[in-house]
Amino acid sequence: MILSRLIRRSAIAGVAIVVALFPLAAQTVGRHRAVAPPSNITVTLTGIITDASNGQPLANAQVSAEGRKSAVTDSTGAYTIKITKNLNVAVTAEQFAYNPQTTVIFGAENAHANFALTPKATITVKLTKPQGDPGKEKDTFVLDVDSSQFAYLIPFSGYIRGDAGNFCKDDGTSITPDKHAIKRILGPAVPADNAGCCKLGPVMKAQLELKTGESFPVYFNDSCFGNEVDFLGREKSSGQYQYFRFADIAEIDFP
């Protein structure tokens, strides 16, 4: 009996010692995991990004590699980015007004890769008079087609916008052509009476040309309730969003 008690006490003491030592072992493993990786596992990749249509450098283009590293080009189109050494790495160059381009680069010392990006289609907006910041006014703006939309402004609420125009024909029927189906809109839009389109009073009117060859006057349904009807999009050269009232637009040319 005395011998069995001694054995049990020894076993309990042994477990206590293991439990006491376990946190120390865990801390030791944790410290090993926190060791910083060697600093020589990356190399620097450099290059220039240009417009494939004219060879001009692209500022503010983005370069990404391995799904996480990114860099932005300066005013000369130059970029610098770190990639993994001695591995083939997929590097992508992109800019909102251009089609992205991806190429595989081997992570060698002094690695270099240039990109020439193909421009996306654009929309040209011509105004009846110049507008913009003082000293930088202009009457023609080139917009990125993907970001360009029809819009109407609800006071105190903001813009409602979409890729399709919301029009009414002379006979009162509605037509909602997508921007990709439109060839041209001729303005400026002016107030006109058409009870079939708006019984509340005048509605804004312009001329619509479709890519099918059809051309006819249209009335902006959204202006029936007194809303301002606009066209907006991101300017290709500056990257800034521009807003134009159809009352100030002489012509919009679609690609």
Task: Please write the tens of the pLDDT for every residue from 233-242.
Answer: 999 988 999 9
Cis peptide before 188 (omega within 30 of 0): yes
Residue 248 sits in the same domain as residue 141: yes
Q: How confident is the model at residue 40 (pLDDT cuts 50, 70, 90)?
A: low
pTM of the predicted structure, to 2 decimals: 0.76
176 — alpha (psi -120 to 50), left (phi > 0) or beta? Answer: beta
Total count of domains within the chain:
2
N residues, the chain: 255
| Mean local confidence (pLDDT), 172-184 | 98
Chain mean pLDDT for the chain:
87
Residue 181 sits in the same domain as residue 72: no
Confirm whether 32 is domain-assigned: no
**Structural domain ending residue among the three candidates 95, 117, 139:** 117
Its domain, for residue 103, covers 42-117
Residue 25: its H or E element:
helix 2-33
145 — alpha (psi -120 to 50), left (phi > 0) or beta? Answer: alpha
Confirm whether 240 is domain-assigned: yes
Q: How confident is the model at residue 153 (pLDDT cuts 50, 70, 90)?
A: confident
Residue 113 sits in the same domain as residue 132: no
Residue 220 sits in the same domain as residue 137: yes
Residue 110 sits in the same domain as residue 129: no
Residue 143 sits in the same domain as residue 221: yes
Residue 183 sits in the same domain as residue 247: yes
Q: Are 253 and 124 in contact (CB under 8 A)?
A: yes
The more confident residue out of 212 and 29 is 212
CATH code (residue 99):
2.60.40.1120
